[in-house]
Structure 1
Amino acid sequence: MLIGEVARRSGVSTRMLRHYDSLGLVRPTGRTVGGYREYSEADIRRIFHVEGLRSLGLSLRQIGDALADPDFPPAVLVGDLIRRTEDRLKREQELLERLRAIDSSAPGGWQDVLRVVELLHGLDSPHAARRQQAVLAPAEDGPVPADVLAKAVLAESDANVAGALRWALARAGGDAVASLAAGLRSPDAGIRRRAIRAIAELPGDEAASALVGALGDPDPAVRRPAALAAGNRGESAAVPILAGMVVEGTNDVEAAEVLSSLATDHGCADQVMSAFATELANTADPAVRIRLTQALAELPPPLAHDTLRQLTRDEDPAVARVAAALVAGR
């Protein structure tokens, strides 16, 4: 079969077939009387072998080595190809994310594009100071894309940089909650903690809904700040967790203040008092009962007065003394 026919049937150009011949990769076994290349069936099979290996990413030199040695071990070479392909895909994914970030910023001109590119480069820096500078530098030029900042917040481990990112995110507006809410579904508790801290600083109903959803998180370091933030927004679903924080002694003063606000300003007085009553009934630990007594004192006097008076007769003298002092002070 002549070279033109081989090219039509194989899909390999005549130029590439001549190149294979010059490299010794696929040499036609025959020549016509006129000196034209003539390929046998074995030659054509070899062409398809070459093309098949090329489709895996092998170089022509690697293909020649593999076809020349029937005992050539493929495992090492294939493993190397896998690693290189994974690296390439990672780079391509990073490029895709950069392009999407630029597109989401709706640039009005190339200056806007360059500003986002500069931000992305800065956020990729291994130095925390450089990342923080990248976040704060564009402030005078206007907000930066919210989804870019949200993704950076979820990945940032440095407290100062994370604070700057949350500040910029609250300033940026846009649909930041959706990007952060995705972080709340992460199996990594650290990412969920960063997400809830950022959401707590964002306004709006979507942020409030995300905070309430995080109240059921298995990690207390996620659900506690979610409860504080949700309680400050008047979400009564936070009451049980806030009462539990008083019992545990974790941010108990802050939790008591939020419970007081819920009882006073958000119509949750009955629910708050019920939570206190349940916790008092379930513990005999004097330290816990003292914390609950002190938290009750944060509530409006008419609401907690009767319960505090009862605690002045508590079986534990220390609890009774604290309750008596609080009642006298009120």
Structure 2
Amino acid sequence: MTTTEEDTDATRALRALESSSSSVRLRAALAVGTTPDARLVDKLVERCAVEPEFYVREMLTWALTRHSSSTTVPKLVGELRSENPQARSQALHTLSKIGDRQAWPAITRALLTDADDEVARSAWRAAVVLVPEGEEPELAGVLVAQLGRGDRATQLSLSRALIALGELIMPTLRAAMTDLDPRVREHAIATKRLLRDPDAGFEFAIEEAKRIVALGGRSQEG
């Protein structure tokens, strides 16, 4: 392919990513990922911040993973400072898929405790993927401090992140099981149940934890 043809394809892809049709945007993201072009990384990152359709955002993320991390990671890290919550959450999501631990220093406590639940959930997922060996206990402490937060989906995301860290979460989790806030105690007990029995299901675990807290007790498991 000649340089002129490559330029034409890049221009066409840039236009398609801005199309009013979600199916056109989806095909454009697929095409860019299939034939990576570093010149389109900026547009992919920019589009992630504003794309309204979930399945198109997922394809944009996939397209970014197909490019060199040396190109994508710095641009995604830059998005973490955006005032736009979607820009932050999608950048974190994409960083978790790329899995380059050079991004770890950018996963700050501020992001892990972000007021926007979607941003925080994405930060939790990214953190457990990117955390360097030896820093897991400190991360567990930050995550456990979020127990009791948000709706069931948010709580499930946090439990999954904690469980991904393994048994090292137990000391901080046990402390949370005696917290003054019943929601924190319930969430801690449910998380421990899921760590011990991954097939239990979160709804069952949280309802069981509520019964334990209501009775003024605590989990009898390990």
TM-score (norm 2): 0.73
Q: 1:219: which partner in 2?
A: 116
Q: Letter of the 2:75 partner, please give it.
A: S
- For 2:77 and 2:124, how far apart are their aligned partners in 1? 16
Counterpart for residue 183 of structure 1: 79
Structure 2 residue 145 is the aligned partner of structure 1 residue 262: no
Residues 81-160 of structure 1 correspond to what in structure 2 (within 5 A)?
A: 109-140=3-34, 142-145=35-38, 146-160=41-55
Unaligned residue ranges in structure 2 (runs of 5+): 198-208
Q: By how many angstroms is 1:191 displaced? A: 2.3
Alpha-carbon distance change, 315 to 221 in structure 1, aligned in 2, over 3 angstroms = closer
Aligned partner (choices 99, 102, 105) of residue 209 of structure 1: 105
Measure, in 1, the Cα distance between the counterparts of 2:213 and 2:5: 72
Residue 319 of structure 1 and its aligned partner are, at CA, apart by 4.4
Which amino acid in structure 2 is aligned with residue 128 of structure 1?
A: S
Select the residue among 242, 249, 254 that pairs with 2:143.
242
The answer to whether the 8 A contact 1:200-1:229 is kept is yes
Greater RCO, CA 8 A, separation 6+: 2
Question: 2:86, 2:2 → 1: CA distance?
Answer: 36
Q: 2:178 aligns with which of 267, 271, 281?
A: 281
Q: TM-score, normalised by structure 1?
A: 0.52
Q: Are the counterparts in 2 of residues 227 and 241 from structure 1 also a CA contact under 8 Å?
A: no
Q: Identify if the C-alpha distance between structure 1 residues 252 and 198 changes in structure 2 by more than 3 Å, giving closer, same or farther.
A: same
Q: Using the alignment, how far apart are the partners of 1:315 and 1:295 within structure 2? A: 14
Q: Which amino acid aligns with 2:106?
A: A
Alpha-carbon separation, structure 2, partners of 1:315 and 1:183: 41
Q: Which position in structure 2 is the counterpart of 1:317?
A: 215
Q: Where in structure 1 are there 5+ consecutive unaligned residues?
A: 1-106, 302-310
In 1: Cα distance, 2:85 partner to 2:73 partner: 18
Per-residue CA deviations over 1:295-322 (Å, capped at 9, x if unaligned) read 1234469xxxxxxxxx9xx7742745xx
Measured at CA, do residues 233 and 205 of structure 1 come closer, stay the same or move farther in structure 2, by a change above 3 Å?
closer
Letter of the aligned partner of 1:239 in structure 2? A
* Conservation of the 8 A alpha-carbon contact between 2:107 and 2:123: yes
Q: How far 1:251 moved relative to its partner?
A: 3.5
- Residues 247 and 279, structure 1, Cα contact 8 Å, conserved in 2: no
> Distance between the aligned counterparts of 2:114 and 2:30, measured in 1?
32
Aligned to 1:229: 126
3-state SS in 2 of match to 1:283: coil
Q: Residues 152 and 254 from structure 1, CA distance in 2 versus in 1: closer, same or farther, beyond 3 angstroms? A: closer
Question: Does the Cα contact within 8 Å between 1:247 and 1:291 map onto a contact in 2?
Answer: yes
- 1:304 maps to what in 2? none
Could you tell me how far apart the structure 1 residues matched to 2:89 and 2:24 are?
23
Q: CA contact under 8 A between 2:80 and 2:88: conserved in structure 1?
A: yes
Show CA shifts across 1:20-43 (max 9, x none). xxxxxxxxxxxxxxxxxxxxxxxx
Task: Kindly indicate whether the alpha-carbon contact (under 8 Å) linking 1:239 and 1:259 is maintained by their aligned counterparts in 2.
Answer: yes
Over residues 105-158 of structure 1, what are the superposed CA-to-partner deviations in whole Å (9 max), with x where a residue is unaligned? xx9622221111111110121221111111113454x21223332222123222
Q: Which moved more, 1:198-207 or 1:275-284?
A: 275-284
CA contact (8 A) 2:177 2:185 kept: yes
Aligned residue identity for 1:165? L
Quick one: structure 1 residues 108 and 275, their matched pair in 2 at CA, closer, same or farther if it must change by over 3 Å?
farther
> Which residue of 2 is the match for residue 65 of structure 1?
none
How many pairs align?
Answer: 199
Q: Quick one: structure 1 residues 216 and 164, their matched pair in 2 at CA, closer, same or farther if it must change by over 3 Å?
A: same
In 2, distance between residues paired with 1:138 and 1:187? 27
Over the aligned positions, Cα root-mean-square deviation in angstroms equals 3.1
Structure 1 pair 167–181 and aligned structure 2 pair: CA distance change class (3 A): same
Q: What percent of counterpart residues are identical?
A: 21
**Contact 1:192/1:222 (CA < 8 Å) preserved in 2?**
yes
Partner in structure 1 of residue 200 of structure 2? none
